């Protein structure tokens, strides 16, 4: 055999090795993470393409039409799907820093454990996590038993791959990072030093390897994984722990909200201002109040229709609109009591009424409800403090009042809501507008206790949602608007209003 063909073969292999590598992944995915580790270990340059699994790109669907999952590797334009297959492909294409041993028996062993770990730990543990109570306990037995076998295999070794990280280490590499998150959310211990001594010691060793540590997925993306893996799961009801990840959950839900006719929620929210105002008005504004009640009833009818045949606005689980109109089942009864009338009637709004009971029993919602006695005190307090003439009689003053209602609804309120619902540039823009508009309110309040002077006035009612609603939006949205230094008067006013809630 001459040298010619061999040389040309080597050249083409080399060319192939040098071809462009792209990786389609998702930040929290334990499957794409292992491929990234392998790429780093082998020193292969690649372009990372983050995939939104709740809104899959045409690129993903084109390159993985069968599973429609990440990771997918593109090498010289050709696609390879399924993480274990990608790792094997990489091993055969780029020989440096091998993931598998040379010896055929050892190689077969490593492949066995990698397959075993995916089939018996990763998938079952994930499935178990999404269950509840006894079902969960039972389902957790398989992955825990499998971890025991992995612990045995690891005995006396530094890594599964021996002295250095190999295929099995990368495959089970999600464990040290994700299991503690799962433990935190479920409030139980799965991977202890006593029950899994070798595995436990390995987790610390593994996480201390610099290139592993640097590529760990952010753990606040955890609820996102749950949403992707099981969209029918009511991921909001996990536990308190998930509340800390509220922002991410909301941003996931937001994507779905488009399908859920987001406008419905926003409109009803806007009407709620009218409703609150209407109900808290005095007899003098009877007509105003009747108008507000009528519009509230219409809005509730629309909501009732929308709910027909569904458990939640989001379908089988709590969705975005459920969160937006979630104040109704606890807020309306308070207003009913304060105002002495009935709105949320079970006969008139059967679906809305049933939904109200359902949503108040979702653990995450239940735990975060403001106590209704405080709500009642607040409503009563405002009624008491509000001057009977809080709707000014003077035409100019009335025009002024109308101006402020419009301003808070169309400017300040809208900017704050937009900031909450949006992201990126749009959010930045909305936050900037909100700050400017709050500055205007601050000016209006300067030197006064209430917008109405010494007593609660019309504008106090109009912007009365700020003290109790803005902090919630700030916490969940992860932004700060009502800063005490920037808005000393607005802040003090908000504190007074909050005190009347306590
Ligand atoms: N067996 C696959 C599993 C990949 C997988 O489950 N990927 C998840 C992300 S962690 C995914 O893309 N899910 C999207 C979906 O199920 O729609 C592998 O090893 O690559």
Determine the Cα–Cα distance for residues 73 and 83; give it in Å rounded to an integer.
Answer: 9
CA 238 / ligand 1 centre spacing (Å): 21
CB 32 near ligand 1, within 6 Å: no
User: How much is the average pLDDT of 192-215?
Assistant: 93
User: What per-residue confidence (pLDDT) applies to 418?
Assistant: 82
- The answer to whether residue 95 scores a pLDDT higher than 80 is yes
Question: What are 279-328's pLDDT values in tens digits?
Answer: 444 444 556 566 666 767 777 787 888 888 889 887 887 776 676 677 77
User: How much is the average pLDDT of 435-447?
Assistant: 92
Predicted confidence band of residue 468 (pLDDT cuts 50, 70, 90): low
User: How much is the average pLDDT of 349-363?
Assistant: 89
Show the DSSP H helices in 64-103 as ranges.
83-93
Chain centroid to CA 231:
13
Question: Above pLDDT 70, what percent of the chain?
Answer: 69
Q: Which of 87-96, 163-172, 298-307 has the lowest mean pLDDT?
A: 298-307
Determine the Cα–Cα distance for residues 278 and 338; give it in Å rounded to an integer.
Answer: 12
Determine the Cα–Cα distance for residues 53 and 230; give it in Å rounded to an integer.
Answer: 12
Structure tokens at 355: 């939904």
CB 494 near ligand 1, within 6 Å: no
Residue nearest to ligand 1 atom 9, measured at CA: 29
150-182 burial, b for 16+ CB within 10 Å, e for fewer?
A: bbebbeeeebbbeeebbbbbbbbbbbbbbbebb
Residue nearest to ligand 1 atom 11, measured at CA: 69
User: What per-residue confidence (pLDDT) applies to 250?
Assistant: 36
Residue 75, beta-bridge partner list: 21, 78
User: What per-residue confidence (pLDDT) applies to 372?
Assistant: 53
Chain centroid to CA 38:
29
Residue nearest to ligand 1 atom 13, measured at CA: 69
Determine the Cα–Cα distance for residues 297 and 358; give it in Å rounded to an integer.
Answer: 21
From residue 58, give the alpha-carbon distance in Å to each of 64, 65, 68, 79, 436.
10, 10, 10, 14, 40
State the pairing for strand pair 47-50/72-75. Answer: unpaired
Cα(first)–Cα(last) distance of the chain, in Å? Answer: 91
Kindly give the number of the ligand 1 atom that is closest to the alpha carbon of 229: 16
CB 82 near ligand 1, within 6 Å: yes
Count of CB atoms situated within 10 Å of the CB of 351: 16
User: What per-residue confidence (pLDDT) applies to 221?
Assistant: 55
User: What per-residue confidence (pLDDT) applies to 335?
Assistant: 63
Question: What are 486-502's pLDDT values in tens digits?
Answer: 999 999 988 876 554 43
Q: Which of 189-193, 377-381, 400-404 has the lowest mean pLDDT?
A: 377-381
User: What per-residue confidence (pLDDT) applies to 458?
Assistant: 66
SS3 480: coil
Higher pLDDT, 4 or 153: 153
- The answer to whether residue 143 scores a pLDDT higher than 60 is yes
Question: What are 209-250's pLDDT values in tens digits?
Answer: 999 988 887 655 555 555 555 544 433 333 223 333 333 333
User: What per-residue confidence (pLDDT) applies to 327?
Assistant: 72
- The answer to whether residue 9 scores a pLDDT higher than 70 is no
User: How much is the average pLDDT of 421-427?
Assistant: 83
Residue nearest to ligand 1 atom 2, measured at CA: 82
Determine the Cα–Cα distance for residues 450 and 429; give it in Å rounded to an integer.
Answer: 29
Contact 249, 240 (CB under 8 A): no
Determine the Cα–Cα distance for residues 283 and 273; give it in Å rounded to an integer.
Answer: 18
CB 266 near ligand 1, within 6 Å: no
CA 31 / ligand 1 centre spacing (Å): 7
Question: Above pLDDT 90, what percent of the chain?
Answer: 38
Contact 420, 481 (CB under 8 A): no
CB 31 near ligand 1, within 6 Å: yes
Q: Which of 2-6, 16-20, 34-38, 285-289 has the lowest mean pLDDT?
A: 2-6
User: What per-residue confidence (pLDDT) applies to 70?
Assistant: 95
- The answer to whether residue 7 scores a pLDDT higher than 70 is no
Structure tokens at 445: 């309040």
Kindly give the number of the ligand 1 atom that is closest to the alpha carbon of 53: 14
Higher pLDDT, 235 or 204: 204
CA 67 / ligand 1 centre spacing (Å): 8
Identify which of 24, 27, 31 to mutate to test ligand 1's pocket (most ligand atoms within 8 A of the CB): 31
Q: Which of 146-150, 228-232, 311-315, 430-434 has the lowest mean pLDDT?
A: 228-232
Residue nearest to ligand 1 atom 12, measured at CA: 69
CB 217 near ligand 1, within 6 Å: no
Q: Which of 37, 27, 168, 53 is nearest to 111 (CA)?
A: 168
CB 227 near ligand 1, within 6 Å: no
CA 437 / ligand 1 centre spacing (Å): 45
- The answer to whether residue 205 scores a pLDDT higher than 80 is yes
Predicted confidence band of residue 255 (pLDDT cuts 50, 70, 90): very low
CB 128 near ligand 1, within 6 Å: no
CB 60 near ligand 1, within 6 Å: no
DSSP string of 176-200? HHHHHHHHHHHTS--S-TTTSHHHH
CB 69 near ligand 1, within 6 Å: yes
CB 73 near ligand 1, within 6 Å: no
User: How much is the average pLDDT of 61-83?
Assistant: 92
Determine the Cα–Cα distance for residues 81 and 69; give it in Å rounded to an integer.
Answer: 8
Contact 144, 190 (CB under 8 A): yes
Determine the Cα–Cα distance for residues 481 and 31; give it in Å rounded to an integer.
Answer: 38
Query: With the C-alpha atoms ordered 414, 420, 421, 425, is the resulting torsion angle positive or negative?
Result: positive
Count of CB atoms situated within 10 Å of the CB of 450: 16
Backbone phi and psi for residue 125, each to the nearest 5 degrees, phi listed first: -70, -40
User: What per-residue confidence (pLDDT) applies to 215?
Assistant: 84
Kindly give the number of the ligand 1 atom that is closest to the alpha carbon of 51: 12
CA 249 / ligand 1 centre spacing (Å): 19
Sheet of 72-75, strand order: 47-50, 21-25, 72-75, 78-81
Residue with tokens 């201390």: 208
Determine the Cα–Cα distance for residues 185 and 222; give it in Å rounded to an integer.
Answer: 10
């Amino acid at each position: 055999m001459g040298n010619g063909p061999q040389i040309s073969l080597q050249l083409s292999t080399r060319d192939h090795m040098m071809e462009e590598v792209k990786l389609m992944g998702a930040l929290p995915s334990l499957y794409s993470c292992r491929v990234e580790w392998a790429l780093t270990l082998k020193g292969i340059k690649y372009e990372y393409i983050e995939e939104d699994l709740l809104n899959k790109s045409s690129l993903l669907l084109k390159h993985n039409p069968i599973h429609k999952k990440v990771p997918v590797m593109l090498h010289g334009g050709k696609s390879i799907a399924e993480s274990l297959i990608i790792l094997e492909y990489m091993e055969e294409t780029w020989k440096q820093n091998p993931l598998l041993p040379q010896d055929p028996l050892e190689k077969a062993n490593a492949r066995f454990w990698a397959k075993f770990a995916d089939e018996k730990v990763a998938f079952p543990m994930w499935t178990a996590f999404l269950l509840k109570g006894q079902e969960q306990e039972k389902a957790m037995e398989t992955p825990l038993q499998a971890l025991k076998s992995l612990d045995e295999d690891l005995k006396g070794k530094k890594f599964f791959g021996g002295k250095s990280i190999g295929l099995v280490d990368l495959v089970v590499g999600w464990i040290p990072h994700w299991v503690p998150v799962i433990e935190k959310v479920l409030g139980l211990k799965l991977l202890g030093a006593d029950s899994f001594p070798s595995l436990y010691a390995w987790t610390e060793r593994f996480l201390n390897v610099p290139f592993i540590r640097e590529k760990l997925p952010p753990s606040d993306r955890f609820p996102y994984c749950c949403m992707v893996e099981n969209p029918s799961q009511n991921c909001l009801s996990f536990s308190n722990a998930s509340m800390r990840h509220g922002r991410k959950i909301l941003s996931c839900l937001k994507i779905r909200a488009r399908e859920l006719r987001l406008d419905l929620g926003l409109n009803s929210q806007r009407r709620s201002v009218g409703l609150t105002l209407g109900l808290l008005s005095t007899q003098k504004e009877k007509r105003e109040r009747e108008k507000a009640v009528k519009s509230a009833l219409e809005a509730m009818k629309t909501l009732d229709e929308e709910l027909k045949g569904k458990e939640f606005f989001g379908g089988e689980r709590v969705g975005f609109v459920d969160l937006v109109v979630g104040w109704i089942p606890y807020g309306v009864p308070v207003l009913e009591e304060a105002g002495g009338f009935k709105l949320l009637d079970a006969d008139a709004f059967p679906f809305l009424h049933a939904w109200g009971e359902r949503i108040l029993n979702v653990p995450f919602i239940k735990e975060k409800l403001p106590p209704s006695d405080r709500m009642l005190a607040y409503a009563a307090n405002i009624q008491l403090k509000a001057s009977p003439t809080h709707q000014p009689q003077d035409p100019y003053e009335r025009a002024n009042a109308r101006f402020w209602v419009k301003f808070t609804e169309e400017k300040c309120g809208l900017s704050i809501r937009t900031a909450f619902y949006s992201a990126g540039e749009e959010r930045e823009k909305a936050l900037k507008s909100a700050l400017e508009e709050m500055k205007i309110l601050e000016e209006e309040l300067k030197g006064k206790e209430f917008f109405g002077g010494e007593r609660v006035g019309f504008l106090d009612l109009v912007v009365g949602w700020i003290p109790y609603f803005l902090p919630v939006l700030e916490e969940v949205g992860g932004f700060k608007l009502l800063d005490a230094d920037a808005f000393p008067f607005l802040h003090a006013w908000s504190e007074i209003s909050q005190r009347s809630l306590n």
